[in-house]
Chains A and B, each alone.
Chain A
Amino acid sequence: MRLRKIVWGSALAAAVLTIGIAAPAEAQSKSIQIKGSDTMVNLGQSWAEAFNRKHPGVNIAVTGGGSGTGLTALIGGTCDIAESSRSIEPKEIEKANSKGIAPKEFLVAMDGIAIVVHPKNPIKNLTIDQLREIFLGNIANWKTIGGANKPIVLLSREFNSGTHIFFKEHVLRRGNAKGPEEFSPGALLMPSSQAIADEVAGNENAVGYYGMGYISAKQKVIAVSKDAKSPFIEPTMPNVKSKAYPISRPLFLYTNGEPKGVIKDFVDFVFSPEGQDLVKKIDFVPIK
């Protein structure tokens, strides 16, 4: 009886020891934490899946939360790669340097921010100035810009979204990042791009914005012109690549310093023809 206990006990201890020793080594070399932009979550996920088919031993976790969340995690050392739909801010670089982290930027794709309305909405074209007035809350009825006599319901993303910040700086503030303009306080702040897509699909008063990857047949895409004299342009792949579509932005990966080991393999994969092909499949614009 006693002997049995001892045997079991030592077996258990051995098992615990092995796991304890093996696990950290495994975690260091064979797992990648990717975190950040909600816009890029699906892209990151499909990269991870394809990468996994080639390197089956690597454990990749992709999570969203917003570009700021990802960069904060990179600075805090809780992720290996941050996905971001805006470039890192000087403040964040400072913060990172003070913690011994050196963010390295990779431009991996381009994205057009689509303006979407309900398919029944008669509006087809808008200028940047009209968009600006709408999201500032100065135009509050579709009638003003030639639509039905109905109130405009503004859908925006939460404060932690790179898309929110990009739209504010490039549409509301016309590229002046420190301008005084803000989203109308009446704008609904939706927790995800999908939530905006769902609300637009079911609400003929709504107008929202999100990365072109979320466009589907349930929403109508508005063609945008940069001023009254320019042509109205739709957010299609060639138009974003040629920068003809006025609300386009770069998508980045950030790593801590020059990537090494599996992280380097992953970044190389992203730039490979296969990785860039996936960019196209998720409806973003490849850069190569």
Chain B
Amino acid sequence: MRLRAAKEFVIEKLIFLSGIASIVFVALIFIFLLKEGISLFKTIAPGDFLSGRLWYPISDPPKLGILPLILGSLLVTAGAIVLAVPLGIASAFYIAEIAPRRLRDILKSLIEILSAIPSVVLGFIGMITLVPFIKKFFNLPTGLTALSGAIMLAFMALPTIISISEDAINAVPREYKEGAIALGSTHWQTLYRVVIHGALPGVIAAAMLGIGRVFGETMAVMMVTGNAAVIPKGLMQPVRTLTATIAAEMGEAVRGSEHYYALFAIGIVLFIISFAINFTADLFLNRGRKR
């Protein structure tokens, strides 16, 4: 009997440890980022870092302004979201409410395959096919633009947006729909007057998680956006994102140099923005559950 209690105790503690492990990791990562990134602010004010317009990290003295990078990331993300959110939500409605059962199964597994394509492969395909097309279609000096990045990222955000929206739509109680139809609504009226209201918090959460996915994406963006650190004036221009900057430069940065700390500081900025996005998504998800 004693042995059994001891066993229970050990197992309980082990499960507890597994449970909090991921929280511990997140905390450790954040502490590490802070520790490395904060050293930068001994030599440059946070305001100058965030609002500086020039990024020449290996010059002497280095110019470390990440405003073009922040704007580049935001622009590419915004473009991707404008493309992916309406398409993703419409697709989720089709799969959840309209598609015949067999087609639904096929579509769902294909969307899962889309999410399994490695981003470097998508980036490579984009570089070979999409970039020359964009250049020709819009008659631009180069096809390596924010728009190319936005389109590639829209592809990557779609599976997230579709599957979470679809879950939200399926979670709308059957009685709502039956009630609406009993009152004489058509299928379409039921969808856009009743179902969408029930599913709205979940759909917004899906969009937010899609944004999070897009914002942190690196490889595909680096391959198709041209990586010029200029303040973007529109989607048809090359941009450099925060993530691509870290990926492209971390290999070279001399440990302990200002450049090295600046890359960690960029990491902090990314971490804070992603955290805010996920936190907002969580708020909406919880609201959906309570109702």
Contact = CB atoms under 8 A, between A and B. Distances in A.
Interface of A: 65-66, 68-69, 72, 91-92, 95, 150-151, 153, 158-160, 165, 178, 182, 185-191, 195, 198-199, 202-203, 205-206
Contacts of B56: 182
Interface stretch (B75-83, B170-178, B244-252): B244-252
Contacts of B228: 185-189
Contacts of A160: 248-249, 251-252
Given A65-B251, A203-B135, A190 B141 contact: no
B222 A191 contact: yes
Interface in B222-254: 222-223, 226-230, 238, 240, 248-249, 251-252, 254
Given A69-B252, A188-B226, 8 more contacts: A65-B251, A158-B248, A159-B58, A160-B248, A188-B228, A189-B240, A202-B132, A205-B141
A95 B254 contact: yes
Given A158-B227, A191-B222, A186 B58 contact: no
A151 B58 CA distance: 28
Contacts of A195: 127, 223
15 contacts: A72-B254, A72-B255, A95-B254, A182-B56, A185-B68, A187-B228, A188-B142, A188-B226, A188-B238, A189-B226, A189-B229, A191-B227, A203-B141, A205-B142, A206-B142
Interface centre among B55, B228, B229, B240 (most CB of A within 10 A): B228
A91 to B, nearest CB: 7
Given A159-B248, A159-B249, A188 B227 contact: yes
Contacts, number: 76
B59 A182 contact: yes
- B interface residue count range (under 10 / 10 to 19 / 20 to 34 / 35 or more): 20 to 34
Interface in B132-151: 132, 135, 141-144
- A-B pairs, top 10 by smallest CB distance, nearest first, are A160-B252, A68-B252, A188-B226, A189-B227, A69-B251, A151-B141, A153-B142, A205-B141, A185-B230, A158-B248
Contacts of B144: 188, 199
A276 B127 CA distance: 36
Contacts of B222: 191
Given A158-B248, A159-B252, A203 B227 contact: no
B235 to A, nearest CB: 16
B60 interface: yes
Nearest to A158: B248
B57 interface: yes
B240 A199 contact: no
Contact of A199 (B57, B68, B142, B248): B142
Contact of A190 (B57, B143, B227, B230): B227
A150 B141 contact: yes
Nearest to B132: A202
A21 B127 CA distance: 47
Given A65-B251, A66-B251, A72-B254, A186 B59 contact: no
A191 B142 CA distance: 16
Contacts of B114: none
A153 B251 contact: no
Given A95-B254, A153-B141, A186 B238 contact: yes
Contacts of B249: 158-160
